[in-house]
Structure 1
Amino acid sequence: MKIAISTDTGFVSAHFGRCPSFTIAEIEEGKVLKVEEINNPGHQPAFLPNFLAERGVKYIICGGMGNRAQMLFAEKKITPVIGVTGKIEEVIEKFVQGKLEAGESFCKPGAGKGYGLEKGEFRP
């Protein structure tokens, strides 16, 4: 099974579609077989669900994702896990252990490129 994590400088990105890259981890029988980071090829409606589905991804882990994007991923049989923060390595380990907890999406209506943050705020 493969998981994809929206990535920004080693941490889970606040917004899946605008992240600089995705970390893709291949997991089998509770072990991480391979981890690779790929550049985000672009943010266009329905493009990323197709792009990740073609790579065999079954879960997309991110800080935030809009409702429409969640529906598009579901159509591709990819489960969104939203509201996640932390270092990529720790997130992968928690996922493997079954201890990864989802939360509330950081993407709110009107958040746009601000990732749901107020001006001057930072969230790793």
Structure 2
Amino acid sequence: MKIAVTYEEGKVFQHFGHTEKFKVYEAENGKVVSSEVVDTNGNGHGALADFLAEKAVKVLICGGIGQGARQALAQAGIELYPGVNGEADQAVHEFLNDNLSYDPDTVCSHHEHHGECAGGNCSH
């Protein structure tokens, strides 16, 4: 199974639509067997769902995320775990051990940034 995390300097990046990199993990039998950092090549927002689908990603861990991107991920069949903070590697480890702390209701509206997004910690 492939798991992607919005990624910046080792941490979960907090705005899905503006992420420039994902760290993509290959997991088997509950353990990470490989990982790589991939550049989004300038793709943003809705196009990122297609980008992840092309890489056969099944799970996305991220910080803030907008409604449109949520819908695009759902259409691509990618499970979403938003509202995650901290180290990317640790988040994947926690996900694989069924103890990831996330907020399924995290929504980020990129039109109304005032330091924080409703329900999340989007920093734009």
TM-score normalized with structure 2 length:
0.84
Correspondence 1:105 to 2:88 = no
Aligned 1:83-102 pairs, distance under 5 A: 83-102=83-102
1:72 Cα deviation (Å)?
0.5
- Go from structure 1 to structure 2 and tell me whether the alpha carbon gap of 1:9 and 1:106 turns closer, same or farther (over 3 Å shift): farther
Aligned-partner Cα distance in 1 for 2:49–2:86: 23
Q: Alpha carbon RMSD of aligned pairs, Å? A: 2.3
- Name 1:46's counterpart in structure 2: 46
Q: CA separation in 2, counterparts of 1:17 and 1:46? A: 8
In the TM superposition, what is the alpha-carbon distance from 1:42 to its structure 2 partner? 2.2
Of all paired residues, the percent bearing the same amino acid is 32
Structure 1 unaligned segments of length 5 or more: list them.
Answer: none
In structure 2, relative to structure 1, the CA distance for the partners of 1:71 and 1:90 (3 Å cut) is same
Amino acid at match of 1:107: C
In 2, distance between residues paired with 1:115 and 1:44? Answer: 20
Q: What's the CA shift string for 1:41-65, capped at 9, x where partnerless?
A: 2234531111111111011111011
1:116 corresponds to which residue? 116
2:7 counterpart of 1:7: yes
Contact kept? 1:25, 1:33, Cα under 8 Å: yes
Q: Matched residue of 2:6: which SS? A: strand
Gaps of 5+ in 2: none
CA distance in 1, matches of 2:46, 2:108: 17
| 1:34 corresponds to 2:41 | no
Distance 2:14 2:67 in 1: 15
TM-score (ref. length: structure 1):
0.84
Question: Which residue of 1 is the match for residue 58 of structure 2?
Answer: 58
Q: Is the 8 A contact 1:91 1:100 kept in 2?
A: yes
Superposition deviation, residue 110 in structure 1: 2.4
| Superposed displacement of residue 109, structure 1 | 5.6
Residue 25 of structure 1 aligns to which amino acid in structure 2?
Y
